[in-house]
Structure 1
Amino acid sequence: MTTETLAPPPVTTPPDPRTRLVRQALVDSGYALVSLPAGILAFVLVVTGVSVGVGTLVIWVGVAVLAGTLLAARGLATVERAQLPVVLDRPVPRPAYLVPDGGRVRRLLTPLRDPQSWLDALHAVLRLPLAVLAFSVTVTFWALALGGISYGAWDWALPDPSTDPDNTDLLELLGFESSSGRRILFYSTIGLLAAVVLPFAVRAVALLHAQLGRALLTSRAAAQAEIGRLSRGRDAAVAAEAVALRRLERDIHDGPQQHLVRLGMDLSRAQRQLDRDPAAARTTLAEAGVLAREALEELRALSRGIAPPVLADRGLAAALTALAARSPVPVELAVDLPEQRLAPVTENTAYFVVSEALANVAKHSGARVCRVAVGRAGDVLRVVVEDDGDGGALLVPGHGLAGLADRLRAVDGVLTVDSPRGGPTRATAELPWS
């Protein structure tokens, strides 16, 4: 059997931890410094706009003012969302706002009807105290670090406490004798300590500020994404079941049903021939027996896509062994599963994937041999079906592979197909382990 040769992945050197720490400290510092002017602008704009809008609602001007304020808060929230992935070091979802529709009044009221717009306005109000904290901590630690480390370069420019009785430095306030060397050592030590603590202090306040944005600006987007994913999974399951039922109805109508109609006609003819021509009746009955066997074989073939009793009784490994034994194309089966049974929906889906894939191999690939591997890969159940056929298989809507993809999507699974012209073809399905 021909197998694909995959190039080894490129070797990447992870960044130095110290370099990453310094880079993150610079990113967090920039975020904290920008957050204060942005927070002041957002606070003033939203508080002023909401106050004026509520105060003028009685003359309907307030509706337009409130709508404009919420749109401005949305723009500021969009800028904040663009910064969150850099600070949180992970992507954040973006919410779907209501789309204006209908007449002018309805379009004007759209921001007021959108819950996310009000969350954007709430974030503009609540972010200011955290922005002040982040700005203050960042400026303080950077001033201590830079000023302390460089103190030896500018100590000479300061008044000498020993010659100026009105000038008292920190060492003297702490009860120590002050001199140039002691001051440089003391303040340089403070600067070094501040430089060591700076990345962690700045990271803490930046994360605190960013978490508020994540909670108010992206949490609803995450819920919307989850609802959309569940809705797509449900639609995919319904579509897959509908396609499977239509195909089963078509196959039954074109195959077993025609044989059974012919069988009924032959039995009626044999019944009429029994008295006047027993030899012809026996011939007709023999033909009816052949038709009955053919109908039975076709019904067995159609039932392979339906979970067999052995799957419920003995598990996925035994069911796949029986399925491979019935395949017209020789199958090399490798199953590596624990003794503990998987969830019924996982077993049924995996069985359906292998059954449908082997049926496609037998019908379309021209393969001489097929390999099926089933096992755990991290938190997923991976099913790989590979053949040495002609290749060219595509995920085309309305065809078998598209139905497999829909069936997997319904259980949060995914199907990938690698099938270049000339083969080989490899279909890989990954399902959640539990």
Structure 2
Amino acid sequence: MPSVDGMTTTYAGATAAPAPARRFLRQLGVDTQYVLLGFPIGLITLVLCMTGFALGIGTVVIWIGVPIMVATLFMSRGFAVVERARIAPVLGREVTHPVYRTARTSGFWRRSMAPLGDGQAWLDMVHGIFRFIPSTIGFSFVITWWACAIGGLTYPLWDWTLPHPESNNELPELLGFDDNAFTRILFYVVIGLIFSATLYPVVRMAALLEAAFGYSLLNGVDRLRREVAQANAARDVAQEQRAAAVSAEAVALRKLERDIHDGPQQRLVRLAMDLGRAEQQFTTDPDAARATVAEALSQTRETLDELRALSRGIAPPILVDRGLRAALTALAGRCTIPVDLDAPPLDRLDPSIESTAYFVVAEALTNVAKHSHATEVQVSVQRNDTGLLVTVADDGVGGASLAKGHGLAGLDDRVRAAGGVLAVVSADGEGTRLTAALPI
């Protein structure tokens, strides 16, 4: 049945899934009626399209031919719409209705003349003129095979109605068979069985010949356009993902540089100063030197802790060794706000997808701890047929945004770089719900 999707109308073929025998008979019936109806329709379209085309060309010098040609193109479009609906069950697939060219202005004459500049409209007329060729070929084969199959199998029922004079040179006699009723009937029944056995492939090939001819003219250009549009869309998505990856990498590097500068680097500078002071104190005040060294050791431990925290943000070992669920469990345990984690056991995913999912939860929990004033966080990780769904929801003050300049902009870039989509619902005073859909 027709269905509208954007700018295209789709004619769907058979959707039921009957038993093999029923499907076989149904396809045979579909192909037979398609070819048998195609022959008279082909005759009608040949006469009408040829007449309209000839009149249009012949009277174009006095301008009468222009509206005649437009009317012929519109008529061809109508026959094309009918043919697309007939082709779908034969090919067993969707046959799209192409978008015809329309005038961008609102003038009546410009809109009326639009088909003259539409390539698909001319292809519809070409199909209306030349479809008679495959229709005639297919009709001849289908009529012949059905007639021979039915006539041969039913020959015993009507043999008695035919005259059989002794001098009649029938086909069995020409082939060397005896001229008696039993041999004659058996011969024609065998002929009927042969044509019945080959009926389906012959009818199927005849229908496919006519349907393929129609599909190539009525949908070939549209299919090529859609393939080009899909290729362009895929290219645009790839470019967006590449740009998002570059942006996410730049943000991650700036954040790492800032964290190192504000944390471990400052501590290492202080550590160097403390050790230098301790070196000078060893000769004058050993007790003060030991205190300075003890403080330096404390600074060293704190620096190591910060470096470990930074390394966990880049690529935590537990994620690599034990998978996403274990890494998220450890992440939830370190959060300063109670976390309700719903993460069932998962098979190992692509490392980039696992890393992105971990980064989404880690960044979201960090933002919750810093800005949300929430009392509880719910983290859910679910896998379905299409991908991985990661959700982080809190009961904080809300107000989060994916706009540039906000903390989640870099997270959005990272998710898009992995081919996913990030959505945030964060009304003021109603908490924040962050959802990331990642492909697998």
Fold equivalence (TM over 0.5): yes
2:103 matches 1:66: no
CA distance in 2, matches of 1:141, 1:59: 50
Paired residues of 2:357 and 2:390 also in contact (CA < 8 A): no
In structure 2, the partner of 1:216 is 217
Identify the residue that residue 168 of structure 1 maps to in structure 2: 169
- Which one of the candidate residues 121, 143, 147 is aligned to 1:117? 121
Partner of residue 53 from structure 1, selected from 44, 53, 56: 56
Q: Is the deviation greater in 325-334 or in 68-77?
A: 325-334
Q: What's the counterpart of residue 202 of structure 2?
A: 201
2:57 is aligned with 1:78: no
Distance of 1:234 and 1:27 partners within structure 2: 40
Instruction: Measure, in 2, the Cα distance between the counterparts of 1:141 and 1:415.
Output: 61
Q: Which amino acid aligns with 1:171?
A: P
Equivalent residue number for residue 189 of structure 1: 190
Alpha-carbon distance, 1:61 to partner: 1.2
1:144 and 2:148 matched: yes
Deviation per residue, 1:151-172 (Å, 9 max, x gap): 001111110233xx2x332112
Q: Tell me the distance in 1 between the aligned counterparts of 2:35 and 2:44.
A: 15
Equivalent position SS for 2:102:
coil
Aligned sequence identity (%): 33
Tell me the residue number matched to 1:271: none
Alignment pair present for 1:33 and 2:55: no
Deviation at 1:355, TM superposition (A): 4.0
2:91–2:211 contact (8 Å) kept in structure 1: yes
Do 1:350 and 1:383's aligned partners in 2 also have CA atoms closer than 8 Å?
Answer: no
Give secondary structure in 2 for the equivalent of 1:27: helix
CA separation in 1, counterparts of 2:180 and 2:87?
47
Residues 225-277 of structure 1 show CA distances to partners (whole Å, capped at 9, x for unaligned) of: 334445656777888979x989x99xx9xxx9xxx9xxxxxxxxxxxxxxxxx
CA contact (8 A) 1:371 1:385 kept: yes
Quote the offset at 1:174 in angstroms: 2.0
1:324 is displaced (CA, Å) by 4.3
Q: What is the identity, as a one-letter code, of the residue corresponding to 2:83? A: E
Counting matched residue pairs gives 345
Q: In structure 2, what residue type is equivalent to 1:125? A: I
Structure 2: distance between partners of 1:142 and 1:358: 71
**In structure 2, distance between residues paired with 1:350 and 1:217:** 46
One-letter amino acid of the structure 2 residue matched with residue 78 of structure 1:
V
Distance 2:375 2:129 in 1: 63
Shift of 1:105: 3.0
Residue identity in the other structure for 1:145 = A
**Letter of the structure 1 residue corresponding to residue 158 of structure 2:** W
Q: Deviations for 1:124-165, whole angstroms, at most 9, x for unmatched residues?
A: 122111000111111111100111101001111110233xx2
Residues 353 and 438 in structure 2, CA contact (< 8 A), matched pair in contact too: no
Task: Supply the distance in 1 between the matched residues of 2:435 and 2:182 (Cα, whole angstroms).
Answer: 74
**Alignment correspondent of 1:268:** none
SS of residue matched to 1:142: helix
Give structure 1 stretches of 5+ with no counterpart: 1-12, 261-292, 391-396, 417-424
Alpha carbons of 1:349 and 1:111: their partners in 2 closer, same or farther (altered >3 Å)?
farther
> Is the aligned partner of 1:106 residue 2:107?
no
- Other structure's SS at 2:156 match: helix
> How far off is 1:359 after superposition?
5.6
Residue in structure 2 matched with residue 126 of structure 1 by the alignment:
130
User: Is the contact made by 2:102 and 2:115 (CA closer than 8 Å) also made in structure 1?
Assistant: no
| Equivalent position SS for 1:93 | strand
Q: How far does the alpha carbon of each residue in 1:301-332 deviate from its partner, in whole angstroms, 9 at most, with x for none?
A: 9x97xxx6x69xx9x96897597477435666
Question: Secondary structure, in 3 states, of the residue corresponding to 2:95?
Answer: coil
TM-score by length of 1: 0.62
Name the structure 1 match of 2:286: none
For 1:31 and 1:119, the matched residues in 2 are separated by 21
Distance 2:421 2:94 in 1: 21
Which is greater in Rg?
2
- Please tell me the root mean square deviation across aligned C-alpha atoms, in Å: 5.2
Q: 2:116 is matched by which residue type in structure 1?
A: L
3-state SS of paired residue (1:123): helix
Q: Rate the CA distance shift 1:237–1:128 in 2: closer, same or farther, 3 A.
A: same
Q: Which residue of 2 aligns with 1:284?
A: none
Distance in 2 separating the partners of 1:350 and 1:73: 55
Tell me the CA shift for residue 22 of structure 1. Answer: 1.5
Decide whether aligned partners of structure 1 residues 158 and 80 sit closer, same or farther in structure 2, where only a CA change above 3 A counts.
same
Deviation at 1:208, TM superposition (A): 0.8
Q: Which residue of structure 1 aligns with residue 227 of structure 2? A: 226
Corresponding residue SS for 1:25: helix
Aligned counterpart for 2:158 among listed residues 137, 154, 158: 154
Counterpart residue identity of residue 47, structure 2: V
Change (3 A) 1:317 1:64: farther
Supply the distance in 2 between the matched residues of 1:182 and 1:25 (Cα, whole angstroms): 31
Q: Which runs of 5+ in 2 are unaligned?
A: 1-15, 263-302, 333-338, 369-373, 395-400, 424-433
Partner in structure 1 of residue 97 of structure 2: 94
Note the alpha carbon deviations across 1:198-248, whole angstroms, 9 max, x for none. Answer: 011000010011011111111222233334445656777888979x989x9
